[in-house]
Amino acid sequence: MESPLMLVPVILSGGSGSRLWPLSRESYPKQFHALLSDYSLLQETLLRLEGLPGLASPLLICNEQHRFLVAEHLRAIGQTAAAIVLEPEGRNTAPAVAIAALQAQSQGEDPLLLVLPSDHSIADPAAFRATVQTAIALATAGHLVTFGIVPEAPETGYGYIKAGSDLDLGGFAIDRFIEKPNLATAENYVASGCYYWNSGMFLIRASVYLSELARYAPEMFTACEAAWQKRQADLDFVRLDPATFAQCPSDSIDYAVMEHTQQGAVLPLQAGWTDVGSWSSLWQALEQDGAGNVTVGDSLALDCRNVYLRSEGRLVVGVGLEDVVAVETDDALLIAHRDRTQTVKQVVEALQREARRESRAHRKIYRPWGRYDSLDLGDRFQVKRITVNPGASLSLQMHHHRAEHWIVVKGTALVTRDNEEVLLTENQSTYIPVGCKHRLSNPGRVPLEMIEVQSGSYLEEDDIVRFEDHYGRS
């Protein structure tokens, strides 16, 4: 009896999520946020796959900065990755999927790869799984299958796929890909019934994709194969060779392969899909009150219509507003007309030109051992709230330009200071002078919370000399 075909989820977790600024930042993009439920978008992407036949452990592609976030989000839902592959730099989706295909074949199998962005929303997971099962026959027959979203409106923010001849397996040959159209053209597409939104999701056999990539983008294939061959294992991660991968051209699957191959297929999908690509699309995806309002966090809408109000901390109140988005974080506030939320990316670009920190990171920064929140910053001091996960430790380190005062407010801290160790409990404190070799650990079973007061002539994060680190950081 033939063994069931292996189905490997390939989750693409890159990008900066700039269109959902100020919540989404380069250091903590939208796939790590719980925007539609109690789970992050990344977690929802994995959870909706449960029940698919032949489902294997997922393979994730991400960058260096997000590696521990990815691992933690998987751990929180009880999943273990087959591999977490780290790209030295972003090269778009075609190389990412090539690396995934090579990695998936490394155990001697030739599985089907279910390629999914980590930041999409599916309102009807059962319908999605049923469509994936239909796609298995197409992919097994050698087709490179993309899922085309049955359009609900003449959307100008998406690319389109025109369906060609019927393939008798539930899908259609791909006639052509179309860039984002104007409104009149989009209306004609929807009325015709043979155009679909381009979802960026695929079901492909690993060997077929690699063969087509070698045919239509040989330079990319060669660079990906060389970078993967020179890979190195680092804890639970797979690191590609940076110098080799840097030679790889950057391109999407659509441009590199799908627009050229004779084996492409589009399968219609109706499952309540959205790419959560703007605050307006998020407003549409969430349940609204009788006046069309969505309020998240500590927020209140009075005499408002069709507004999205989100608070991450302070109370946000809207009065007499219509078609407005207001999003509050600890260091920024966005107020925009709902029809203009696609241009939020331009705000981030303007902040980047001014080298503003708000374009890159939140006040709260996540680390593999926990997180810290910068509460106050002055000319020669900084105050942080530090949370260390149970059993976790910071690196053994030293600073040249700053001293630190630590005050434990919750839990237990094991502090290393040069050649001594001190156990601190709530309301106890210690002092770390300049040049002292030190480490902070949480030996307890509850999160350790403490206040750190830094003082000195230079307070940036690069004033760290690491001697030992459990997480492979230099």
Identify the CATH number of the domain in which residue 400 sits: 2.60.120.10
What CA–CA distance (Å, rounded) separates 49 from 70? 17
Dmax of the chain from CA atoms?
76
Judgement on whether residues 117 and 43 belong to the same structural domain of the protein: yes
Identify the CATH number of the domain in which residue 66 sits: 3.90.550.10
What residue numbers bound the domain in which 428 lies? 364-468
Q: Does 336 fall in a domain?
A: yes
Contact 145, 138 (CB under 8 A): yes
What is the 8-class DSSP label of residue 246? T
Judgement on whether residues 258 and 131 belong to the same structural domain of the protein: yes
For 73-93, how does the pLDDT look when each residue is reduced to its tens digit (9 = 90+)?
Answer: 999 999 999 999 999 999 999
What is the 8-class DSSP label of residue 109? -
What CA–CA distance (Å, rounded) separates 28 from 358? 12
Judgement on whether residues 270 and 287 belong to the same structural domain of the protein: no
Judgement on whether residues 267 and 187 belong to the same structural domain of the protein: yes
For 308-359, how does the pLDDT look when each residue is reduced to its tens digit (9 = 90+)?
Answer: 999 999 999 999 999 999 999 999 999 999 999 989 999 999 999 999 989 9
Judgement on whether residues 23 and 141 belong to the same structural domain of the protein: yes
Which residues neighbour 248 within 8 Å (Cβ) at sequence distance 6 or greater? 91, 95, 219, 220, 223, 224, 227
Judgement on whether residues 369 and 382 belong to the same structural domain of the protein: yes
Taking 70 as the threshold, does the pLDDT of residue 1 lie above it?
Answer: no
Judgement on whether residues 245 and 169 belong to the same structural domain of the protein: yes
* 0.85 surpassed by pTM: yes
- Name the residue with tokens 């190195």: 232
Tokens coding 190: 């929807």
Q: Does 42 fall in a domain?
A: yes
Taking 50 as the threshold, does the pLDDT of residue 135 lie above it?
Answer: yes
Report, as an integer, the average pLDDT of 376-402: 94
Contact 45, 12 (CB under 8 A): no
Judgement on whether residues 52 and 78 belong to the same structural domain of the protein: yes
Contact 383, 425 (CB under 8 A): no
- How many Cβ atoms are within 10 Å of 252's Cβ, its own excluded? 17
**Residue finishing a domain among 229, 255, 274:** 274
Q: Does 189 fall in a domain?
A: yes
Judgement on whether residues 27 and 46 belong to the same structural domain of the protein: yes
Contact 434, 403 (CB under 8 A): yes
**Residue finishing a domain among 319, 350, 381:** 350
What CA–CA distance (Å, rounded) separates 211 from 341? 40
Judgement on whether residues 462 and 314 belong to the same structural domain of the protein: no
Q: Does 294 fall in a domain?
A: yes
Q: Does 319 fall in a domain?
A: yes
How far CA 20 is from CA of 327, 342, 403, 406, 439, in Å, comes to 9, 9, 37, 35, 36
Taking 80 as the threshold, does the pLDDT of residue 16 lie above it?
Answer: no
Query: Total domain count for the chain?
Result: 3
Report, as an integer, the average pLDDT of 210-214: 97
**Residue finishing a domain among 215, 246, 274:** 274
Judgement on whether residues 85 and 98 belong to the same structural domain of the protein: yes
H, E, C per residue of 163-198 = EEEECCCCCEEEEEEECCCCHHHHHHHHHHCCEEEE
Q: Does 409 fall in a domain?
A: yes
Q: Does 359 fall in a domain?
A: no
Taking 70 as the threshold, does the pLDDT of residue 4 lie above it?
Answer: no
Q: Classify residue 307 as exposed, middle or buried by CB count within 10 Å of its CB (0-12, 13-18, 19+).
A: buried
Judgement on whether residues 340 and 268 belong to the same structural domain of the protein: no
Q: Does 298 fall in a domain?
A: yes
What CA–CA distance (Å, rounded) separates 135 from 36? 27
For strands 195-205 and 144-149, give the pairing.
antiparallel
